[in-house]
Amino acid sequence: MKNVLALRLGTLAFGALNVALCAAAATAPALSQTLPQSTVIPVRFEHSLAAKKAKPGDSVTAKTMQVIMLPGGRVIAKGSVIVGHVVVAQAFHFDSTPYVHQQPSLISIHFDKLQRGDAVIPVNLSVRAIASTIDSQEAARPHYLDETDRVGTVKLIGGTEFTPFDKMIQSGDGDAIGYNRKDGVFARLTASGYSGPGASFHCEGTETEQSVAIFSPDACGVYGFAGDYLSDNGQDGSGTFTLAVRGHSVKLYAGSTALLQVNQAK
C-alpha cells in the first residue's frame, strides 16, 4: 500500500512539474519575441501631454487601434498597450531680445515596450504619421452627403476614401490599395514623404500587408495640428520622436493617433 501511494505521489509531482515547464515554455517566447522590421502599429494616445507640465520620465501610454497580423499566425490584439516615456519637454517662452529667433516648444517621446497581459515585447519605433484628436475622430466614422446618403464615405487620414460596404479600397485609377475587413483596414504601404519646418523624412513602402486602421496607405507626417510639426520621427534608430511648435506650448491631446513603425536594424 505504501509503495502504491508513493508511486501515485511521484506521478502527481512529475505531472505538476510537466505543467510548470510547459507553462514556462509557453510564456518565454511571448516575453522574448521581437516584432518584424517595418511592422506598422496604429495607436491612439490614452492621456493628454502638455509641454508646460510634462517632465522627463513621465509615462506615456497608447493602445493599438485594431488587430495586427504577424508572420506565422501571431496576432497582436486590438487594445494592446504601448508604453513609453517623455524624454524632453520644453514649454514655449517668449524671448524679448530684438530680432531674436524664437525657440520652439517641444515634447520628445520614446516608446519602450508593447504589453498584453503578461507578455512584454521591447520595441524601437518611429512615427510614420501622427494626427490630431479631431482628425482622428473624423476618420473613424463615415460622413454623409445629405439625408438621402444611406452609406456615407470614410475618409482616412491622408485622403483615401471608401464606403463602409467596400471590401476592396481602390485608388482613383481603380487599383486595389487596401482592404476593409472584419478586423480593420489593411494595406501595403506606399512610399511618401514629409517636409516640415524642422526636418523632412521619407516613408518607405512595404511589400507586406500592414494594419493601418484610420490611416491611408501613403499617410506620412503631421495631420490636423495647428502649426505643430515633427522635428524628428525616430527613424534614425533612436526610437524617439519630437513634436514641436512655434509661438505656443505643445499639447498632445488624448485621442490623438499615430501610425508607428518598427525601425530597421542599424
Strand duo 240-245 + 257-262: pairing: unpaired
Distance (Å, whole) CA 42 – CA 88: 23
Do residue 15 and residue 134 come from a single domain? no
Q: Specify whether 10 is located in the same domain as 97.
A: no
Together in a domain, 159 and 222 = yes
CA-CA distance, 176 to 197, in Å (whole number)? Answer: 34
Residues 28 and 41 occupy one common structural domain: no
- Are residues 248 and 140 both part of a single domain? yes
Distance, in Å, from the CA atom of 227 to the CA atom of 250, rounded to the nearest integer, reads 10
> What amino acid is encoded at 123 in this protein?
V
pLDDT score for 52: 96
Encode pLDDT of 192-227 as tens digits: 999 988 789 999 999 999 999 999 999 999 999 989
Say whether both 9 and 117 belong to one domain: no
Q: Are residues 5 and 55 in the same domain?
A: no
Residues 82 and 125 in one domain: yes
What does the pLDDT look like over 5-47, one tens digit per residue? 444 444 444 444 444 434 433 433 443 468 999 999 999 999 9
- The structure's pTM equals 0.85
Of the CA atoms within 13 Å of residue 35, those in its CB half-sphere come to 27
Q: Residue 221 has what pLDDT?
A: 95
Low-confidence ranges of the chain (pLDDT < 50): 1-32
pLDDT value of residue 156: 97
pLDDT of residue 8: 47
Per-residue pLDDT, 48 = 97
Report the distance separating Cα 230 and Cα 200, nearest Å.
Answer: 8
Of 190, 192, 258, 200, which is closest to residue 231 (Cα–Cα)? 200
113 and 222 fall within a common domain: yes
Q: What is the pLDDT of residue 226?
A: 87
How confident is the model at residue 151, as a pLDDT? 87
Range of the domain at 144: 37-262
129 and 253 inside one domain: yes
- Number of domains composing the chain: 2
Distance from chain centroid for Cα 263: 12
- What was the pLDDT predicted at 266? 59
Residues 10 and 89 in one domain: no
Residue ranges of alpha helices (H) inside 192-236 are none
SS3 content of the chain, % helix, strand, coil (to 5): 15, 40, 45
**27 and 48: one domain?**
no
User: Residue 78 has what pLDDT?
Assistant: 95
Look at residue 33 in the predicted model and tell me its pLDDT. Answer: 66
